[in-house]
Structure 1
Amino acid sequence: MKKHYRSDTNCLNCGTMIQGKFCSNCGQENLELHEDFLHLALHSVGHYFHFESKLFNSMVPLFTKPGYLTKEYFAGKRASHLNPISMYIFISILFFFLFTAKTHINEKGIREENPAAAEAREEAEARKTIGEVRGAVLEKAQIGKMSDQDANYTYTILDNAEAALDSAGRRHKEAVIYTAPATEKPKAATQEKPAKEPKADGKGKKFNVDLGSDDNVVLHSLETKLQEVMDDDLQSELFKNKLVGHLPKVMFILLPLFALILKLVSLRSSKYYVEHLIYSIHVHSFLFLFASLLIILGWLLPFLSSWLWWLGIGVSLWYIYRSMRNIYRSTRWRTVYKFFLLFFAYSILLTLSGLIVIVATLYTV
């Protein structure tokens, strides 16, 4: 259907004088404001199919022609394809939606599904707090900052709090029963030995004998936290939930690092960093789109799921190699050499970022 264009030549959006049907400054079409419903509907459908055609023109070569979109982008042929960043965001949203479809539940849903685990966790935290207070009281009593009478009174309160937790398997949150202080100091307080003073060197300066104590403390803390999460069903589910939620952010951060590695392994290349970055975006877009297809096929053909993932690994490796040949125009063996350098460096980055995310997630559950 024919479009109705305005006779006035001023752009209604930016005020620039128009020569033709589109504004040369902002690109707005100079259409009549008062269109009937049919014209409005057809105009909207036309924009939709224009996006669809750009999507089709981008997805097909992304699958069938490794490196083609990157070459087209830097050849200046950009209007007929999706913007690389927009395409990556669209595909990554699709991939992570499918990836988490069966496993990702919001935190509120997890807590509602595990009320017993939530209650057990709260009780464990309460016992831990009681233990920490008991240790603090013991330490102050040993160095004389608290009298034996005050310490015994506090021990009695803590004992009653623990008894309230144990009583008939119920949690008494409304009050702690206070009784008279104990007449004797607990055995733990009398048997506890003061910490040994560090040894001194010849100049009278003290030093710590256990040189690896800081590392041991960190490793012990990590081991304790990991064991705590693994032993608690609720914390384990929350840990998996948060870990999956961090994956899109990690991959988005790794994109420019992938491009940086490409720049380093192609130092003799005249390409700018942004060219490596656009190539990196296209490669990750293909990997996410192909993985999305494999997820769907795995749902439809569950008996082939293991074979599909082996197929995915093989195709992905071939795609990266083939796209590097097309973009960097190196010889076959030089491309293989660069490919292995890229694979090795990127694997280290993935491992380090994965460990950082796991540790950060452990301490935020």
Structure 2
Amino acid sequence: MDDAGLSGLAGGAAAVAASAELAGLAAGGGHGGHGASGDCLNCGTTLASQARFCSQCGQDTANHPPSLMEFVHEFVSHYIAVEGTLWRSLWGLMAKPGFLTREYLAGRKQRYVLPLRLLLTLGLLFFLALKLMPGSTHTLGLDDEADNEVVQMVPEAASAAASASKGMAKVKKKLAEHSGEMHILNPEIATQLPHGMQDRLHRAEDHWRADPKGSMHAMGATMLGLAPYAVLCSLPFFAGLLKLLFWRQPYGAHFVFAMHLHAAWYGMLLLAVLLPWGAVAFAIWAWSNIYPVVALKRVHAGSWWTTVLRAALLAVLHWVIITLGLVFLTMAGALAAG
């Protein structure tokens, strides 16, 4: 290509750049988008020259509707590209028990994904994978060979999955054997409920007798849908148990630990669903039992024998919460099935 052609291309590129800059100024309402000077449109603070964010409220200085590519760039830069925040957080969460809690309590928060965001993200991915991955409920031991359509979700640690699934399988067997005489509640207790609730219970029992398999499927679907909310509701109680056992730490620190611990359990369950192999499942089960003890030891810096003793007591009390949660989920599922 000759010099004239190169000059023409350079001139065209310059014109396009100038047009884009003018368009940015117009879209930014005179503030020019990112890097513009002036006042923050959110709080009115005077912006520094070429500032991309307001120093007072943190809002960006771009005054135009974001494009799809800007959304993608924001996601990638925030979660992946910016110093590997996501991967550093996942590694610290899954491979180094208690590490993220210690970092958070030490004030080093910006380096990692915040605990609530980790919990919600991993929980969402787990329940999504549980619904979409073929055979995922069988991998976690939540169904049996007689009825592989029934989904009964136990919304807690992987360490509880094996024993809990056996108990749920026994409940299913008993329900199938005695479906003709099914009672959601003891009749004496049911008579003390409001009339509207009693009618709902009677309809649910009639539906169970008429279609036990369909009722169990509806019950499992309801329990699976409520399981994420049950886990979130259990966090304050779990943090309260930690406060009883480790009373020197403030309650807020225990709540952060509870979020990190449940996020790690979600991550383990997600791996069990995505990698449904026997060796992987055993490794996850073993790590899920070791993880809480190591995390408690790292965060509270106690001796090993006191940490193990308190972790055992915590597990027993935690099972009480799990049992109450299962009772609630079972009741909700049974009522929804009717």
TM-score range, shorter chain: 0.5 to 0.7
Task: Tell me the matched-pair count.
Answer: 243
Does residue 9 of the first structure (1) align with residue 38 of the second (2)? yes
Does residue 275 of the first structure (1) align with residue 253 of the second (2)? yes
Deviations 1:181-212 (A, max 9, x none): xxxxxxxxxxxxxxxxxxxxxxxxxxxxxxx9
The one-letter amino acid paired with 2:37 is D
Normalising by structure 1, report the TM-score. Answer: 0.58
Contact 1:6–1:32 under 8 Å retained in 2: no
The corresponding residue for 1:225 is 205
The corresponding residue for 1:309 is 281
The corresponding residue for 1:49 is 77
Contact 1:9–1:18 under 8 Å retained in 2: yes
Does residue 61 of the first structure (1) align with residue 92 of the second (2)? yes
Separation in 1, partners of 2:209, 2:223: 13
The corresponding residue for 1:336 is 308
Cα pair distance change 1:333/1:14, threshold 3 Å: same
Separation in 2, partners of 1:213, 1:34: 60
Structure 1 stretches lacking a partner, 5+ long:
105-109, 111-211
Deviations 1:119-177 (A, max 9, x none): xxxxxxxxxxxxxxxxxxxxxxxxxxxxxxxxxxxxxxxxxxxxxxxxxxxxxxxxxxx
The corresponding residue for 2:188 is 214
Does residue 79 of the first structure (1) align with residue 110 of the second (2)? yes
SS of aligned partner of 1:14 = coil
Contact 1:229–1:362 under 8 Å retained in 2: no
Contact 2:102–2:299 under 8 Å retained in 1: yes
Separation in 2, partners of 1:291, 1:67: 18
Normalising by structure 2, report the TM-score. Answer: 0.63
Contact 1:62–1:68 under 8 Å retained in 2: yes
**Displacement after TM superposition at 1:282 (Å):** 0.3
The one-letter amino acid paired with 1:252 is L
SS of aligned partner of 2:336 = coil
Does residue 28 of the first structure (1) align with residue 28 of the second (2)? no
Cα pair distance change 1:14/1:331, threshold 3 Å: same
Separation in 1, partners of 2:206, 2:285: 30
Separation in 1, partners of 2:281, 2:326: 21
**Displacement after TM superposition at 1:216 (Å):** 9.8
The corresponding residue for 1:156 is none
The corresponding residue for 1:350 is 322
**Displacement after TM superposition at 1:321 (Å):** 0.6
Contact 1:10–1:18 under 8 Å retained in 2: yes
Contact 1:265–1:338 under 8 Å retained in 2: yes
The one-letter amino acid paired with 2:251 is Y
The corresponding residue for 2:218 is 238
Structure 2 stretches lacking a partner, 5+ long:
1-31, 137-148, 150-185, 193-200
Separation in 2, partners of 1:349, 1:326: 25
Q: After alignment, is 25-34 or 351-360 more displaced?
A: 25-34
- The alignment's C-alpha RMSD in Å is 3.5
Contact 2:207–2:215 under 8 Å retained in 1: no
Separation in 2, partners of 1:256, 1:34: 39
Q: Sequence identity of aligned pairs in percent? A: 23
Cα pair distance change 1:230/1:46, threshold 3 Å: same
**Displacement after TM superposition at 1:310 (Å):** 3.1
Separation in 1, partners of 2:210, 2:230: 23
Separation in 2, partners of 1:7, 1:237: 58
